[in-house]
Chains A and B, each alone.
Chain A
Amino acid sequence: MSQGTERTDVWQGTLALMVLTTLEAIGPQHGFGIARRIEQTSGNRLLVNPGTLYPTLLKLEQQGYLATEWGTSEHNRRARFYRLTAAGRRQVAKETREWTTATEIIANFLALRDAK
């Protein structure tokens, strides 16, 4: 699977937002699909471990942002599908705002360095 570039594990705390935005974009998906999609979106620079992914999915489910149901995958395998709930959608909007603000602030600081 190695694409030659160095891959890092997802940063702590950011995986939840990645999962939520991914599900918002592609609709209901099983864990493997979510992991694969996140890796693709990151340009294969991130590696999503099942050991990190599934606890995060469970946490989001416990918080009420995700709902699950058993379904069948494209290869006819029985899999658990995750989809966003209404609360999950609101959470995506909220976290997106917060991230945008945060990245803007950091960008300003990085700009100071560039201007030197």
Chain B
Amino acid sequence: VNAIREWIARVVGVVLRRNRRIIEDELRTHRDLLIDELRASGMTVTEARHAAGATLGSLSAAANAYRDQSGLPALESWASDLRYSMRSLHRTPAAAASMVLVLGLGIGVSTAVATVLHALVWQPLPVPDSDHVVKLGAEFSGHFSRHVEGSEWFVSLPELDTFRQRVHALSTVAGVDEESLTWQHDGDARSVQGALVTPDYFTLLQVRPVMGRLLSAQDSDAPMTVVSYRFWADDLAGDPAVVGRSLVLGRTSYTIVGVMERTFSGTESEPVDVWLPLVATVRARGDAAALTEPDLSWLQFIGRLAPGASLASATAEANAIAAGLDRDDHPGRRMRMVVTRASRLALGSFQSHDRGTLIAGGAAAVLLIVVLLLICGSNVAALQLARGAAREKEFAVRIALGAGRGRLAQSIVAELSVIAASSALAGVAIAAGLLGILQRWLPLSEVVGTLTPDLRMLTFGIAYALLVTIIFGLAPVRQALRLDCLAGLKGMPGPMPAWRLRRILTAAQVAVSLALLSVSAWEGRGAEHAFRVSLGYSPTGLFIVQPDRASVPGGTPADLALFVDRLQDALRSTPGISAVGRTLIAPFWGSGTTRVQIDGGSEPVQVSFSEADETYFRALGITASVGRIPHPAEADAILVNAAFARRFWGTDAGALGHVVEVPYAATRHPMQIVGVIPEIHTISVGQPDPPIYYLPAVPNTETMQNLVVRAAGATPVPRLVSDATGLIARGTFVRVVPVTDRIHGQLTPAIMGATIAALIGVLSLFVAAVGIHGIVSHAVTTGTRDIGIRLALGASRIRILGSVIGPNLRSAAVGAVTCALALIACSLSASSAFRSVFLGLDPADPTPFLTAVLVLGVVICGAAYVPAQRALGVDPIDSLRRE
């Protein structure tokens, strides 16, 4: 307690600073009293003064001792050290700025990457007790037939009910069907994101309305809706009387019963605008059959773990029930359930072929953080060592003046703290700025809300920066203390630190920079290649026309088919439009796969499929390379692409006449190949379509909802479509998308990837340059005397330059060669993956890699040359005179 009182009093003393006056008064009194006493013993005034002075010694020393007790001397010495270090950093602004920048980039970039990664993958849903909310997905294998709407992972309503009744590890389950709906508003039609939910959805998630109420089991048959906070605030103008208002979605009017709380915007990646009761909405559409269909994947399956239940127990139970479903109704099928803790990342994103990409992406991000921090750390270390070497003389002077080991260390630590603190500030600023940029580029804010830098990563980054600066920053002090201070004063070099590790680090960071630069160059080249690549048809003037079913009068699949028929007819006779085709899957709108049997073979094989009428191919502008495109009347004729023909029969012509048994209208139907179309790109921009077959159009087919329109020049297709729609059925929402938009959309991730890779590449290049600059500076500073002697003995300046730069260039070359070998091995061993990631780029194309090597080489030579020039400027006489 007394110690605390003492420290409080000391702090007060520092603040008030009144003790200074008190002690002066007090010491004066002390002296006067002594003089009084001496005079009383018979001395004269002058004698007494002298005697008192001799006895008391220096009063200012006493005052200093008193001040040390009255304030916080340690703090005050730190403050003076900080002032000193500010001055010393100010003298070498380039080195100080480089260190701050390198560390700041390390902290900032790693924090931003970790934040995004965390928000996407691990951050739980913003709902109470989110640890217990899970997503369930189904995986099917073996022999089965199943209709998929959305994702293969989704389940049907009867399946959901089975799991609800039998899985005891889940206290509640709910299903969600997310789809885009047409909002009819002031004579305007707009697309909004809707979520059709089962009655338990809101109770499961324990979310609350900010206004009104949520949907419950009681109103599952009424057309009611809950709107999101964002939709209410932006689109309904924050109307305080919104509850009770109606909202026309499709052709149905829904009464708004409540507004959702601000933080919740759905359970999948797309933010939801309106929530609707599933059963009522589907019934109102005349789709009641979907509610009882057992083999339909259309509902996202979420659940809440019962008290005491775990992911493992829920998975085990769900799989036992899935096995029961297989046994009872689907012999030959194997259904497996996957249970994961619910985050915003859609469960569908973990589908078999994407899972690898996701995991690789995550691993790459983690690796990036580690590598970045290591590189930054090693470079700051190099800079610190170089700076320390340059300051040996200063340390020697301070030691000679009597500075102790601790005092010297304290002043260095103060200086390092300034660097670390500035880096931390820079890091926070860079992280915040980077997150801002990322949020503008990537549709992140809609998925995960506003991102704030991850505090744990930030703390770790700052701690790491502090540790690196202090460990390597103190090295010169150790050296200085070991040093003979006489030698230091003369400017003789201290012992050289071990550079072996440093060389390995140089090689490693050159390799990493080169790899990153190559990736960005490849992505850039791939995107450029994809723009130039021939799709097999011209995408310009080609439009996809897609009506929204819910907005079609009647709203049933048959009504939609009728509408599409009439729209197709209307557009056909419109001037400026040369062809209007119809297809199941529009260009660059995904793909469908199924299993077929070839020529009665027993083993089904997986291929892609679509449906298209003959005008679809005419709209694309392609004709059959062999055979012909079947007519709508030919019910048993089928068209395949060149990849299909070559996969099974080697040549295009070889396919004609063969029989493909395809799943069609719930039964297997044998079809004869009558034609083969040439290689085109309609799924991935960079790659030709995989083996695919096209079922011919059946008149009035209910599945083909997409029209593909070929228009000449500047035909205003969106306006023509809306005019035609107005004549057929007013208020129907029809989307018109140019195919070129889809292509751009597909290239965006590649361009973004290239940009991010380029940014990181440039960052690592910069860091590498700073590091090499630091090492060479150090070599020149410590080697000035050697260089002087060698010059005096007649060495040529070129040789000197070589000896200073050489070792660094050698380790850089080792890194470059290692990286090149690794990249060549990777690209050749995974050539098809390479093509798909880099948009069809040939892995053997050396241009991007050579560009990266050139850029890296120029930067590194430049970074090494600048300090090396100083070596050339060494005056032999001057350097020897220092002896």
User: Contact residues of A with B, CB < 8 Å?
Assistant: 1, 30-33, 35-36, 49-52, 54-55, 58-59, 61-65, 73, 75, 77-80
Contacts and interface: CB of A to CB of B under 8 A. Distances in A.
B5 A62 contact: yes
B33 A77 contact: yes
Contacts of B57: 49, 51
B157 to A, nearest CB: 77
9 contacts: A50-B27, A51-B61, A54-B66, A55-B68, A59-B6, A62-B6, A62-B10, A77-B29, A77-B33
Contacts of A51: 57, 61-62, 65-66
B634 interface: no
A58 B13 CA distance: 11
A54 B10 contact: no
B2 A63 contact: yes
Interface in B29-87: 29-30, 32-34, 36-37, 51, 55-57, 59, 61-62, 65-66, 68-70
B62 A54 contact: yes
Given A75-B36, A80-B25, A64 B66 contact: no
B33 A30 contact: yes
B2 A55 contact: no
Nearest to A80: B26
Nearest to B51: A1
Given A58-B19, A63-B3, 8 more contacts: A52-B65, A54-B62, A55-B69, A58-B66, A58-B69, A65-B2, A73-B33, A75-B33
Nearest to A70: B25
Given A62-B9, A62-B10, A80-B25, A50 B69 contact: no
Contacts of A54: 23, 26-27, 62, 65-66
Nearest to B10: A62
A6 B13 CA distance: 38
A32 B70 contact: no
A31 B25 CA distance: 12
Nearest to A35: B30
A62 B6 CA distance: 5
Nearest to A65: B2
A8 B69 CA distance: 23
Contacts of A78: 25, 29
A75 B13 CA distance: 31
B22 interface: yes
Contacts of B61: 51
Contacts of B66: 51, 54-55, 58
A32 to B, nearest CB: 4
Contacts of B6: 59, 62-63
A26 B648 CA distance: 116
B146 to A, nearest CB: 82
A17 to B, nearest CB: 14
A50 B56 contact: yes
B22 A49 contact: no
A1 B30 contact: no
Pick from B2, B33, B51 the residue with the most CB of A within 10 Å: B33
B26 A77 contact: no
Nearest to B38: A1
B30 A50 contact: yes
Interface string B1-17: 01101100110010000
B369 to A, nearest CB: 49
Contacts of B65: 51-52, 54-55
A63 B4 CA distance: 8
Interface string B585-613: 00000000000000000000000000000
A49 to B, nearest CB: 7
Contacts of B5: 62-64
Nearest to A51: B62
B36 A77 contact: yes
Q: Which 5 A-B pairs rank lowest in CB-CB distance, beginning with the nearest? A: A62-B9, A51-B62, A55-B69, A32-B33, A62-B6
A30 B33 CA distance: 10
Nearest to B40: A75
A74 B371 CA distance: 78
Contacts of B32: 77
A30 B32 CA distance: 12
B729 to A, nearest CB: 90
Given A79-B33, A80-B26, A58 B70 contact: yes
Given A54-B27, A55-B68, A75-B33, A80 B10 contact: no
Contacts of A58: 19, 66, 69-70
A50 to B, nearest CB: 4
B33 A49 contact: no
A73 B25 CA distance: 14
Contacts of A55: 65-66, 68-69
Nearest to A47: B55
A49 B10 CA distance: 22
B11 to A, nearest CB: 10
A25 B833 CA distance: 94
Contacts of A50: 27, 30, 56, 59, 62
A99 to B, nearest CB: 18
Contacts of B37: 36
B34 A32 contact: yes
A6 to B, nearest CB: 16
Nearest to A52: B65
Given A30-B33, A49-B57, A50-B56, A64 B25 contact: no
Contacts of B68: 55
A55 B61 CA distance: 11
Pick from A36, A52, A58, A73 the residue with the most CB of B within 10 Å: A58
A106 to B, nearest CB: 26
A1 B33 contact: no
Contacts of B9: 61-62
Nearest to B34: A32
Contacts of B33: 30, 32-33, 73, 75, 77, 79
A1 B2 CA distance: 37
A52 B25 CA distance: 17
Nearest to B68: A55
A61 B19 CA distance: 12
A37 B6 CA distance: 26
Contacts of A59: 6, 69
